[in-house]
Amino acid sequence: MRAFALDRAGSSVEALGLGGASVSADAHVRSPVQYLAGGTTLFDLMKLQVMHPERLVDISGLRAEHGRIADLEDGLWLGALVRMSEAESNPSVARDYPAIRDALWQAASPQLRNMATLGGNVLQRTRCNYFRDISYHACNKRDPGTGCAAMEGCNRRLAVLGTSTACIANYPGDFAIALVALGAEVNLLSVDGRERVLPFEDLHRLPGETPHIETNLARGDLITGFTVPAGAWTRRSRYVKVRDRASYDFALASAAVALDLDGDTVRAVRIGLGGIAAKPWRAHQAEAMLVGRRLDEASARDAAEIALAGAVPHGEAAFKIELGRRTLVRALLETRTMELPA
């Protein structure tokens, strides 16, 4: 690990002043200044020499400003510095937004969730081995223009949706899949002090020709939190995660589903897919097809076919197309019959 300077921010204004000049809008990899929250992604990647910032701006002291969970009149507020473990054990989250709780408690380990923040979580980076191991030369995400070793390599865990000829890395996180399904927004502070709100679905970018540009954050943007709108579907929501081992593992495929039912008929549905896509994936077309239909195995399977219709198989990852479909079918059927929290 290389030497770096550490600043502790006492306020958001101070953080933006310290970080804003050079926190890169595009490539975290090459940015010389990084915000430091829980450090569970950042220090990992610094030790691997994938990220080598010269300066860290520690924002963990801003919990009074951005570490709150609050019930809003029309939704839920999750501060960016809330720890994953705090959100997963919050009674409002568990009762009214169970997909969020499910996504959090199935992530990482209890120790990591006690350190990791929600803001840092959504900005975690791919677990593609060719990205994380600098002894591989070819990684367009790490070093633009070098190629993609994963294309012909060990790519079993990588993406089948949203990939490009430059990159087939998948987005690995869980919480973001619940957020994208529930139509959340991400709240930002710009370096000029302006507050901005983005649909969460627009936070991450598809790789295209520029896989090193992972988000639509502007230079120095600080994530302050997330707003999750309450809907008739949020209480009947669930996150299903399929992985190689039952705990402490990233998703091979996952699905977040939120349902509003009239008997067995779908009034409204929200679907997010994870593990199989280049970014947190919302399955809008599958949702539209289900509205007004009776939710059963046949319609769930139809929805899954639509959701994965654009999937492109890459080597060992081809099995993820069918796995993704089955994960969504399971999530839809389990959400239909789930017991609603009291």
How many angstroms separate the CA atoms of 321 and 311, rounded? 7
Instruction: Kindly tell me which of 106 and 335 has the beta carbon lying closer to ligand FAD.
Output: 106
Closest CA to 44 of 114, 122, 135, 112: 112
Counting contacts by CB under 6 A, is residue 39 touching ligand FAD? yes
Counting contacts by CB under 6 A, is residue 124 touching ligand FAD? yes
Counting contacts by CB under 6 A, is residue 117 touching ligand FAD? yes
Q: Of the ranges 92-100, 113-121, 135-143, 231-239, which one interacts with ligand FAD (CB under 6 A)?
A: 113-121
Q: How far is the CB of 66 from ligand FAD (least distance, A)?
A: 7
User: Backbone phi, then psi, for 222, in 5-degree steps?
Assistant: -110, 125
Counting contacts by CB under 6 A, is residue 107 touching ligand FAD? yes
Q: How far is the CB of 220 from ligand FAD (least distance, A)?
A: 9
Instruction: Kindly tell me which of 207 and 220 has the beta carbon lying closer to ligand FAD.
Output: 220
For ligand FAD (CB under 6 A), the number of binding residues is 31
- From candidates 24, 85, 121, 299, binder to ligand FAD by CB under 6 A: 121
x-or-dash string of contact with ligand FAD, 248-267, rule CB under 6 A: --x-----------------
Is residue 295 within 8 A of residue 303, CB to CB? The reply is no
Counting contacts by CB under 6 A, is residue 116 touching ligand FAD? yes
Counting contacts by CB under 6 A, is residue 280 touching ligand FAD? no
- From candidates 41, 155, 187, 215, binder to ligand FAD by CB under 6 A: 41
- From candidates 25, 27, 48, 112, binder to ligand FAD by CB under 6 A: 112
Counting contacts by CB under 6 A, is residue 97 touching ligand FAD? no
Q: How far is the CB of 260 from ligand FAD (least distance, A)?
A: 26
Residues pairing with 294 in the sheet: 265
In terms of residues, how long is the chain?
Answer: 342
Q: Of the ranges 105-113, 137-145, 305-313, 323-331, which one interacts with ligand FAD (CB under 6 A)?
A: 105-113
Instruction: Kindly tell me which of 80 and 332 has the beta carbon lying closer to ligand FAD.
Output: 80
Q: How far is the CB of 36 from ligand FAD (least distance, A)?
A: 5
By beta carbon distance, the residue nearest ligand FAD is: 120
Instruction: Kindly tell me which of 139 and 306 has the beta carbon lying closer to ligand FAD.
Output: 139
Residues that bind ligand FAD (CB under 6 A): 28, 34-42, 44, 59, 80, 84, 107-108, 112, 115-117, 119-121, 123-124, 173-175, 222-223, 250
